[in-house]
Each structure stands twice: as structure tokens, then as C-alpha cells.
Amino acid sequence: MMSVTQGCLGHGSLRLSESVHGYIVKAGFESDLSLMNSVLDMYLSFGCLDIAGGFFAKMEAKDVISWTNMMGFMLDIAHPVEALQLFSQMRDSRIDVNVVAMMIVTSACTILGDLTKGRSVHGQIVVLGFGSELPIVNSLLTMYSSCGDLGCATILFDQIGRKSLVSWTAMISGLVSNGQPREGLHLLIRMRREEPFHLDSVTLICCVASSSEMANLELCEQLHGCSFRSGLIQSVDVQNSLVAAYGRCGYAGIAFRVFQSMRCRNVVSWNVMISSFGINGRAEEALCLFQEMENFGEKPDIITFVNALNTCVHSGMVDEGLKVFERMLKEEQINPRAERYGCLVGMLARAGRLEEVRKLAELATDDKAASSAWWALLGGGTSVVHLVLQKLLQQKCVRSVHGMQVMLCRRG
């Protein structure tokens, strides 16, 4: 029966899985814990918490595999709090934990950014005798770095006798993400000197991000060359990181050459190139790329629209910005964050197009968005703007007006 349940994993039929489960029950195999864990895996494969959770709750017996499979599933569906709750229940059930369980718990703390809980888990890891297990130590490195505690991360890293590539990458990534790109690059140099590892894409991307943060063109070019020598240039993620880095360094032309050389592109590729043109004052090229995107079979996402909108705002391209915003609202059914309303309203206000400001601000779908839009109008900076807003306030056309009347009085 084990092979039958495993066969159902790739079949995708809930009805078939339930039939197999029913046969197992009728055949009296419910006492076979290994088989029940296989049934649990079968239900977990559907990604439905109600189905998998219901079966898990009804299991008469559970072992560490049952618990860790369910905990891992909770992480996969972005329920880290529930994963930690399951761990506590497992401990209450007197089930001996294993390396997998502790890695899941550590990852849950990383996702939550809960340093206090993470330190508590670290203490349990030491007490339970898993403190020297390299996969767990690597997971702790990531947790401490993600929570901003580079001191503990560095101590842990230095205590590792034989580091893996994952160890080095976790520490390099932690340094870069916590605003220490130069230290991250120094660690890469040390890794290349001390260890015989072949560079992987994750480590290379971390280092490219470092060159981007420092706006160091020479370093970016060196890493670009390294990507060719290591064969990693074929990775779309590596190429995307290079496009972004060259853009951040102020060389949108080089970024575009990398973009053009890509055999495969994804939505991130288009986003970083549009952003690179935008931040370097090449607004027309950014918008042209935005228009071309769908011709190449790539659908814009919210990041695409934000990049295009920011380009219009910073370049004072009012009409183009309105077109992007309207498309975002109508065609793509994307509900912009409040800041986007404020951003566009501020641009219109500075251009003196106050009637369009009023219409746009009234499109805001919630009070937070409306408030952001009206505050941006208030920041338009001209007496005409203030007079118009005062009139709208009096007519009660403006929502979320708390505090605005006071500010207008002060500025009046």
C-alpha cells in the first residue's frame, strides 16, 4: 500500500487519494504508522490545510516524521507561527526531536524575524545536543543575520570547524543584507583563499549585490568576469543581479547590453532594466521598455508598474504617469498602495493640474490611500493648491481630513 499512496502524490486527484485512504482503513492498516505518514504526505501534496490538518488531527499515533512533515507544510504555506505551535505540541507529547525539526523551527523564527524566540531555540538546540550539526548551525546563521544580530552570527561562523559553501554564503549574505557589503566581499575573498569551493550562483549574487550597494563599477565588472569564468553567467538570476548592479552604479548602457544578451528573461529581468533606465534619467527608454514588455510575452506585475510610475514622477512626465496609473487600476486590477496615490497626486499638484488631482484622489479605494493623496496635495507648495484644498474641505469632498484643516490654518 505504501507504493500506492506514493503513486497518488503525483496524480493530483483528491478523490483517488480519498479512495486509497478508505481502502487502507477498511483493510485494517491504520495501525501502521509508516503507512499513515505516507497518507499524510499524500494529503499534504494538495497544499490544502483543511484536508491535511484534518487528517493529522485524527491520526491515533504520531512520530517525529508525522510532526516534522506537518511543521514543514506550515512553513511552505507561510504559517510560521503554527509551525512553532506544532513544535511545542510535539515536545509536550514527549516526541524526541531530530535535526529536521530544529531546522524547521529555526526557519520559522527567521521568517518571523523573532530574535528572542530564535535565541530560545538556539538554547534548546545546544541542550538537545544538536549544536555541532552543520545544517542546523547554517540555519542559525541565517536566523541571526536575518534578525540583524551579526555579532552572534559572526561568533557562530567563526566557531564552525569545517565550513560548507552554505555556511560561507549565509554569512556573506548576512553581511550584505545588514549594510556591510565591503565586509561581505572580504569574506568572499577569504573563502576563495581558504576553501576549494566552486562559486555558486547564490554566493555570486550576494557579492554582486555588494558591488551594487557600494556603487563600485570596477568590482561589478570583476564579478561579471567571474560569472563567465565560472559558467554562472547562464543563470537568469545572476544576469538579473548584474543588470541591477550596473544600473545602481550609474551605467544603464552596460546594464542594457547585459539585458539584451539574455537568452531567457523573466519579469524580474524587465523590472530591473526598467528601474535602471528610470534611476539614471532615461525615462523615455524605461517607458518604451515597459510598452515592449508584453510584446515579448511577459505580463507586468506590481513592481513593473511601480518602476514605470516612479520614472514618470521623477521625470515630470505627467500624462505618461497618468496612463500607467490608469492601466494599473483598470486593466490589471492592481490596487496601488497609498503611497502611490500620494506620489502621483504630488506630481499633478506641482504641474498645477488640480482638477485631475481631485478626481484621482477621489479614486482612492480606502481612507489611508485617500489621506496619503490629500496630504501630497497639501505638500504641492503653492497658495493656489491650498485654496483649492480648503474649498474641497469645506465642501466635504475630502476624506480622512483629520489634521489637514489645522495644517492649512497654520500655512494660511
Q: Are 273 and 243 in contact (CB under 8 A)?
A: yes
pLDDT of 346: 66
Q: Are 349 and 380 in contact (CB under 8 A)?
A: yes
Q: Are 147 and 118 in contact (CB under 8 A)?
A: yes
Residue keyed to cell 510575452: 297
Surface-to-core class of residue 30, CB atoms within 10 Å of its CB (0-12 exposed, 13-18 middle, 19+ buried): middle
Residue 113 or 409, more confident: 113
Residue 389: inside a domain: yes
> How many angstroms separate the CA atoms of 60 and 35, rounded?
13
Which of these three, 10, 44, 61, is where a domain ends? 61
Residue 256: inside a domain: no
Residue 244: inside a domain: no
Residue 127: inside a domain: no
> How many angstroms separate the CA atoms of 412 and 393, rounded?
14
pLDDT of 92: 94
Residue 24's pLDDT band (boundaries 50, 70, 90)?
low
> How many angstroms separate the CA atoms of 355 and 359, rounded?
6
pLDDT of 365: 47
Which of these three, 61, 77, 92, is where a domain ends? 61
Residue 34's pLDDT band (boundaries 50, 70, 90)?
confident
pLDDT of 392: 46
Which of these three, 11, 43, 61, is where a domain ends? 61
Average pLDDT, the chain: 82
Residue 27: inside a domain: yes
Residues 239-285 have pLDDT tens digits of: 999 999 999 999 999 999 999 999 999 999 999 999 999 999 999 99
Exposure string (b/e) for 358-382, b if CB count within 10 Å is 16 or more?
Answer: bebbeebeeeebbbbbbbbbbebee
Residues 154-188 have pLDDT tens digits of: 999 999 999 999 999 999 989 988 988 889 888 98
The separation between CA 289 and the C-alpha centre of its own chain, rounded to angstroms, equals 24
Residue 380's pLDDT band (boundaries 50, 70, 90)?
very low
Residue 308: inside a domain: no
Residues 285-341 have pLDDT tens digits of: 999 999 999 889 899 998 998 899 889 888 888 888 888 887 877 766 666 555 566
The answer to whether residue 405 scores a pLDDT higher than 60 is no
Residue 252: inside a domain: no
Residue 134: inside a domain: no
pLDDT of 179: 86
* Count of domains for the chain: 2
Residues 97-131 have pLDDT tens digits of: 999 999 999 999 999 999 999 999 999 999 999 99
Q: What is the DSSP letter of 121?
A: H
Name the residue range of residue 384's domain: 336-412
Q: Are 338 and 372 in contact (CB under 8 A)?
A: yes
pLDDT of 42: 81
